[in-house]
Amino acid sequence: MRKWFYLSLTILLLLTGCSDDQQKKKDEPVATEKESVDSDKVIEIEGKTFTKNEMEFYALMQKIFIERNRSEDVKNSNEIEKTNNYWDSQAAQYDNVNVQLQSLIEVHAMALLAKEKNYFVPPEETEEAVEDIHEQISTNPDIKKLVSDFGENQFDIEIFPYMQEYLLKQRVMAEVEKDVRSTHDGASEQEISYESNAMYDDLYEDQVSGMELKFYIK
């Protein structure tokens, strides 16, 4: 089970505090252009600032992965309505700003960890992953609509750097599973999955606890 509690509580308190501040400042003058630009910032992670648009892009990618999984799941389902309800509930989570922040933080934090471990993803592998996403867009109407609603031009700007980080995060997960398999000879796939997820969660918790995070979201 994801160890989100501490991070979720921290974000929740920060968001509540921001809401209170907004109420107190409701009679203040309208923000200047510079202040409006600054207000787009949602979080700074180890000196790198992310905007609201970037946070929403990370959430969009999770929805794209969900729709990809849904399309495969429905093909093999005898209870299509139940299957769709499940994936609808999964996608709906990413409309929540707290979950959007969690998604962004996890991908970026674990990509940084991968770089610390000198993991490397060749550019051609990233290009291949981007092409696969574009293939999904062209063949899946639900994914196409998600991208269209977000903005195709902005999507094209964001997709390559995102996939670089995502693949680095996946590399961390792959190395964790490799380590678990090497120390759990004869274990079932279910046991391997459980131990891998637990080890990954511990790595993520340790990584985030040692990082400097500054929240700007309002």
**pLDDT score recorded for residue 13:** 45
**pLDDT score recorded for residue 1:** 45
Contact 7, 204 (CB under 8 A): no
Which two three-digit tokens encode residue 148?
């269209």
Cβ within 8 Å of residue 89, ≥6 positions away: none
pLDDT tens track for 146-174: 999 999 999 999 999 999 999 999 999 99
Which two three-digit tokens encode residue 212?
């400097």
Q: How confident is the model at residue 217 (pLDDT cuts 50, 70, 90)?
A: confident
Mean pLDDT of 178-184: 95
List beta partners, residue 48: 45
Q: How big is the CA angle at 146 (ends 140 and 149), to the nearest 5 degrees?
A: 135
pLDDT tens track for 27-66: 555 545 444 455 699 999 999 999 999 999 999 999 999 9
List beta partners, residue 41: 51
Tell me how far apart the alpha carbons of residues 165 and 114 are, in angstroms, rounded to a whole number. 9
Mean pLDDT of 170-185: 96
pTM of the predicted protein model: 0.83
Q: How do 41-45 and 213-215 pair as beta strands? A: antiparallel
Tell me how far apart the alpha carbons of residues 45 and 180 are, in angstroms, rounded to a whole number. 29
**pLDDT score recorded for residue 10:** 52
**Average pLDDT score, the chain:** 87
Contact 110, 136 (CB under 8 A): no
List beta partners, residue 5: none
**Quick check: 6 pLDDT over 70?**
no
From residue 30, give the alpha-carbon distance in Å to each of 27, 202, 204: 9, 44, 40
